[in-house]
Amino acid sequence: MTPLIRNIGGNKAIGMEKNVTIIGAGLVGSLWAVYLSRAGYKVTIYERRSDIRKAEISAGKSINLALSVRGWKALDAVGVGDDVREIAIPMYGRVMHDLEGELTHQAYGKEGQAIYSVSRGNINAKMMDIAEKKGNSTIHYNHECHRVDFEKSISFIRNTITGEEIEIKSDLIFASDGAFSAIRYNSMQKLPRFNYSQRFIEDGYREILLPANEDGSYKMDKNALHIWPRGRFMMIALANEDGSFTCTLFMPHENHKYAFDKLNSKDDVDQFFKEVFPDFYKMMPNVGEAWEDHPLSSLAIIRCFPWTHGKVALMGDSAHATVPFYGQGMNSGFEDCTVLNDLMIKHDENWDNVFKEYNETRKRDGDALQDLSLDNYYEMRDHVADESFLLRKKIEAKYTKLYPNKWLPLYSQVTFSNIPYHVAYNQGKIQDSIMEEVMNTENIDQNWDSEEIMAKMAEKSKSFNFEL
């Protein structure tokens, strides 16, 4: 049967309403709808999935997200930050769990600084509410955009329930349809000179939901990011509002003593957790029974360029999907909104100029974040419990407190500032070389907080100037 075809929209005339189509009602698409609405655009969003707000949302449905300064800046700029704070749990530092169950605490940044745990399902539902109520946007669910016409600015959309085909004419099209974006795959990648690469890292992940105590209380400190570093693999845990923790195990798929392909039964899982995460096993002795509650998933880094063509632009994971180890995927997507909004104002809504500068400036930040995220994975799984690593962090913390404009640790540059990712990445490399020299100082473990060490760092960083 030939599907029905409808034509919606038309050519814009002077003084008529400006129409924008957003593909994907996820976090970035929903927030960008608010920005565009505030700028006077009529926004319509098409979402492939059904409305998740009408189904029960599991707190542990997917890797929890961490909101930090860049994300809050984007949310607060359009007055929706407090809506999200209602479902966010502050985490003031890391807690490392060793093989004996001993805990090591490491604060984030300055006293009082925190990143915020949010369940992906809960924040996605919240952002959809925000898009509709504060962004005056219409969201059509079960509508899949399978391609666009760049020249005519038309989105070709299929109702996944009825099969009806719809052609949507609009002034601008923004694709925020995720790492495996249909717009990028079916349209952008067909363009000449479009560069694209996809890299799956060798490790996958599986989630485990650690339930609350019978009285609803938390089994661990809720205001911390919990890490079980084990050299070649690790597990993390972030708190949910209901007293549970979403725990995520990152581990090789195969070809290692500890790999997912070795865990083929309840007994295999139980023995594994008893051996490598004994304190967790005490909290959840039925972990083997819960193992199949969540699927084994893969992790990919996706790079492409250019991010725009004609009146179409990629945003968020569609443009720069990364691995989750810096907790910046959502924050960088939200920052895309900040950047595009600033450029929209700068260029007085000349979108040709907006998209040109968006490509020129934002791409390097996307690449830098991907490098930062992968580097941080190795740090989290291999080094966070290492005595030398912890000593280095103590030295950096003391020097930062003494001379805050002369030193800002890389993690703080990325997480607690709006310094462009590529600038932070390059600055971090310079700081790494300085710290390597400092850590090689004789008796550093005894003299780490001496005036001599502080003077050495002052000499090496005299040209630095962090103005936050």
pLDDT tens across 317-334, in order?
A: 999 999 999 999 999 999
Could you check whether the bond before residue 192 is cis, i.e. omega within 30 degrees of 0? Answer: no
Residue pair 135/422 in contact by the 8 Å Cβ criterion: no
Q: What angle do helix axes 351-382 and 421-439 make, rounded to 10 degrees? A: 30
Query: In this predicted model, which residue has the larger pLDDT, 386 or 165?
Result: 165
Q: What is the pLDDT of residue 56?
A: 57
Q: Reply yes or no on whether the pLDDT at 114 is more than 60.
A: yes
pLDDT in tens, 169-227: 999 999 999 999 999 999 999 999 999 999 999 999 999 999 999 999 999 999 999 99
SS3 label, residue 387: helix
SS3 label, residue 7: strand
Residue 214 dihedral angles phi and psi, to the nearest 5°:
-60, -30
pLDDT, mean of residues 57-68: 68
CA-closest candidate to residue 275, choices 264, 287, 293 = 287
Tokens for 162, please give them: 């009825």
Query: In this predicted model, which residue has the larger pLDDT, 4 or 142?
Result: 142
Q: What is the pLDDT of residue 5?
A: 35
Torsion of CA 321, 327, 332, 333, to 10 degrees: 60
* Residue 65, Ramachandran bin (φ over 0: left; ψ between -120 and 50: alpha; else beta): beta
Task: List, in order, residues 6 or more apart from 250 with CB less than 8 Å away.
Answer: 203, 204, 205, 233, 234, 235, 236, 299, 377, 381
Q: How far apart are CA 32 and CA 228, in angstroms?
A: 36
Q: Reply yes or no on whether the pLDDT at 17 is more than 80.
A: no
Question: For the chain, what percent of residues have pLDDT higher than 70?
Answer: 94
Q: Reply yes or no on whether the pLDDT at 350 is more than 90.
A: yes
Q: What is the pLDDT of residue 200?
A: 95
Domain boundaries, the chain: 5-88+118-198+300-374, 201-298, 387-460
Q: How confident is the model at residue 384 (pLDDT cuts 50, 70, 90)?
A: low
Buried b / exposed e along 103-113 (16+ C-beta atoms within 10 A):
eeebebbeeeb
Q: How far apart are CA 350 and CA 344, in angstroms?
A: 7
Mean pLDDT of the chain: 91
Task: List, in order, residues 6 or more apart from 139 with CB less than 8 Å away.
Answer: 25, 45, 46, 47, 51, 128, 131, 132
Residue pair 315/349 in contact by the 8 Å Cβ criterion: no
Strands, E assignment, 57-213: 65-67, 89-91, 93-97, 103-107, 115-118, 138-140, 143-149, 154-159, 165-169, 172-175, 195-210
Length of the chain: 468
Task: List, in order, residues 6 or more apart from 455 with CB less than 8 Å away.
Answer: none
Q: Reply yes or no on whether the pLDDT at 164 is more than 80.
A: yes
Q: Which residues pair with 314 in a beta bridge?
A: 175
Task: List, in order, residues 6 or more apart from 444 with CB less than 8 Å away.
Answer: 391, 438, 453
pLDDT in tens, 199-214: 999 999 999 999 999 9
pLDDT, mean of residues 52-71: 75
Q: How far is CA 80 from CA 124, 174, 276, in A?
A: 13, 21, 42
Q: How confident is the model at residue 379 (pLDDT cuts 50, 70, 90)?
A: confident
pLDDT, mean of residues 244-269: 96
Q: Reply yes or no on whether the pLDDT at 457 is more than 60.
A: yes
Q: What is the pLDDT of residue 16?
A: 62
Q: Reply yes or no on whether the pLDDT at 8 is more than 80.
A: no
Q: Reply yes or no on whether the pLDDT at 434 is more than 60.
A: yes
pLDDT, mean of residues 381-391: 76
Which fold is adopted by the domain 5-88+118-198+300-374? FAD/NAD(P)-binding domain (3.50.50)
Q: What is the pLDDT of residue 231?
A: 87
Q: What is the pLDDT of residue 15?
A: 47
